[in-house]
Amino acid sequence: MISPLIERISSNTFAIEPTLKPTMASRDHVPRNLTPGRSVAVIGAGPGGLAAAMQLAAAGMSVRVYEAQPVVGGRSRRITLGDFSFDCGPTFFLMPYVLEEIFSSCGFRLSDFVELHRLDPMYRLIIGDANGRPTVLDTTQNVDEMVRRLSLIDPNDGPAFERFMNSNRTKLERLTPLLRTRVTSMLDMITLDGLRAGAHVRPWESIYSLMGRFFKDPKVRLALCFQAKYLGMSPYECPGLFSILPFIEYEYGIWHPRGGCNSIVGAMAKACEQMGVEIVTNSPVEQITFDGNRVTGVLIGGRHYGHDRVVVNADGTWALKNLVPAHLRPRDTNDAIDARRYSCSTFMLYLGLKGRVDLPHHTIYMSGRYEERFRDISHDGRLSDDPSAYVHNPSPLDASLAPPGKSSLYVLLPVTNNRPGQCSLNWDHEMPRLREDAMGQLEEVFGITDIRSRIEVERLVSPLDWQKERINHGATFNLAHSFDQLLHRRIPHTYPGVDGLHFVGGATHPGSGLPVIFLSSTITTRHICELAGIDHPFSDSYRVDNIPVSSSS
């Protein structure tokens, strides 16, 4: 069944006033008693944790969510500076039908909680040139117009766009069952769906090299594969199977939720509480407790809270190292965990500005030496000149984020993570330089004049700050999505050898990004329901023919 949200996809706006504010229990609140035998603790009120809580509550389980921060959302929470509001992390909202499925399975409609706006242009790309002027490309779901715009860069590459779209439409159809399935070993791939998907998994091919099958101009290729940045990776290393990311943007659109992507997690928290889920904030879990290899609950502030199962939505590798005793994870030693490949980190500026900013909702600048700059980040652990940058400018569309006539500006520069042996930077020392780099790019590349004199409020965030938020090595996009860390090579949804320990989020299969984090929550909660012998709210298995029709068709 196609979701109600997608049936109305021809409209650019879903206008519904938000429902009641969620009420959060504080840490000194004494939680109510939970149903014996079906009591579940969820660690982390991020997107994956709240999606899991919704589905488990709909299945009849007693669920309590423990959140370390004073507000829900995790990396998707809201940041408020004076009269200005910002998304903390994700700002792109894709594939709304995935979340609509979860809301529908729990008896809700997403559109009753969130107002969504389709973006056109989806984003502006400023593609640098080491030897000349940058190329500016405004992207759109209108395929004919996109063909025309790409043809202005290279006459042969424009017509290839339709071929790219048709090829990846088939590819996504083949991969979708795999993206919704728990994979514990390569044996799970020996199914008809697995074999159909496997034909599109080419481990020797990066997304950039794959684009060479369609497009010849390097700038056009980058325009159609920079989305590797959503995974914190270079397109020269990111596996080619992720060409479905740009396809998804052009097929289903990019959306802005009123209030920012943080309003999505706020909506999920409201739905959770209407279902009886208890959300306890200011409650960092210190330890998951066990009797032998069986989960017994969590420890917070020296106090034990008993539960039959624990779902971890905290940063996955951090949680393994810090919340699970070493003897229960003999293959995942701390050294083995730290030896894995991680995404890049980010340097952030949240700026409240006087006046308006003349930029689209999303603007992405790719350095004229894009490959070299990503090598600096991913391998050499150093900063470099002419950094790539991303600017989120939501205020022209969304008046809720800044006072009248002013702007909330979100600025991101990809930087190295803090993994030992890779990064030796002193972030406290480097922060002034990074800020000046960002200011220079905002003025010279993005064309924002007098930026420094217009700042009313400001917050800077470094990889060290991310790391202090219990993110392993400050790698904001989780484990890297290299071929050796896909499928069953990510953190298992149900941890082997331990009774009652489960994971959701970007460190699990299918990976990072809001839509696939929602998919991970369904994979995990399906298995929990199977183990408990109860029905999951998704009563029927996903059918490929349920993929929504293109909004541009």
Give the domain-ending residue among 456, 474, 492: 474
In a domain, 448, yes or no: yes
Answer yes or no: do 204 and 271 share one domain: no
In a domain, 136, yes or no: no
Per-residue tens of pLDDT for the chain, all 553 residues: 333 233 223 333 332 222 223 334 443 333 444 566 799 999 999 999 999 999 999 999 999 999 999 999 999 999 999 999 999 999 999 999 999 999 999 999 999 999 999 999 999 999 999 888 999 999 999 999 999 999 999 999 999 999 999 999 999 998 898 889 888 887 766 675 666 666 666 667 899 999 999 999 999 999 999 999 888 899 999 999 899 999 999 999 999 999 999 999 999 999 999 999 999 999 999 999 999 999 999 999 999 999 999 999 999 999 999 999 999 999 999 999 999 999 999 999 999 999 999 999 999 999 999 889 888 888 888 898 899 999 999 999 999 999 999 999 999 999 999 998 778 889 999 999 999 999 999 999 999 999 999 999 999 999 999 999 999 999 999 999 998 998 889 999 999 999 999 999 999 999 999 999 999 999 999 999 999 999 999 865 433 334 333 333 3
Which pLDDT does position 131 carry in this prediction? Answer: 86
Task: Find where tokens 């020269």 sit.
Answer: 236
Give the domain-ending residue among 224, 252, 280: 252
CATH number at residue 442: 3.30.519
Q: What does 405-471 look like in DSSP terms, one character per residue? A: TEEEEEEEEEE----TTT----HHHHHHHHHHHHHHHHHHTS--TTHHHHEEEEEEE-HHHHHHTT-
In a domain, 265, yes or no: yes
Count of the separate structural domains present in the chain: 3
Answer yes or no: do 468 and 484 share one domain: no
Answer yes or no: do 515 and 528 share one domain: yes
In a domain, 379, yes or no: yes
Contacts of 105 (CB under 8 A, 6+ apart): 55, 58, 537, 538
In a domain, 321, yes or no: yes
Tokens of 187: 């044996």
CATH number at residue 331: 3.50.50.60
Answer yes or no: do 410 and 453 share one domain: yes
Answer yes or no: do 465 and 384 share one domain: yes
Residue 167, judged by CB atoms within 10 A of its CB (0-12, 13-18, 19+), counts as middle
Answer yes or no: do 234 and 261 share one domain: no
In a domain, 82, yes or no: yes
Answer yes or no: do 113 and 98 share one domain: yes
Contact 63, 482 (CB under 8 A): no
pTM, entire model: 0.90
Answer yes or no: do 320 and 370 share one domain: no
DSSP 377: I
In a domain, 124, yes or no: no
Give the domain-ending residue among 458, 474, 490: 474
In a domain, 302, yes or no: yes
For helices 96-105 and 514-532, the axis angle rounded to 10 degrees is: 30
Cα–Cα distance, 16 to 503 (Å, whole number): 33
Give the domain range for residue 210.
148-252
Q: How far apart are the first and last CA of the chain?
A: 19
Answer yes or no: do 307 and 367 share one domain: no
Q: Per DSSP, what are the bridge partners of residue 310?
A: 41, 501
Answer yes or no: do 247 and 292 share one domain: no
Answer yes or no: do 293 and 305 share one domain: yes
Answer yes or no: do 161 and 266 share one domain: no
Alpha carbon of 233 to those of 27, 97, 153, 374: distances in Å? 37, 26, 25, 8
Alpha carbon of 283 to those of 24, 301, 312, 316: distances in Å? 11, 8, 14, 18
Tokens of 474: 């400050």
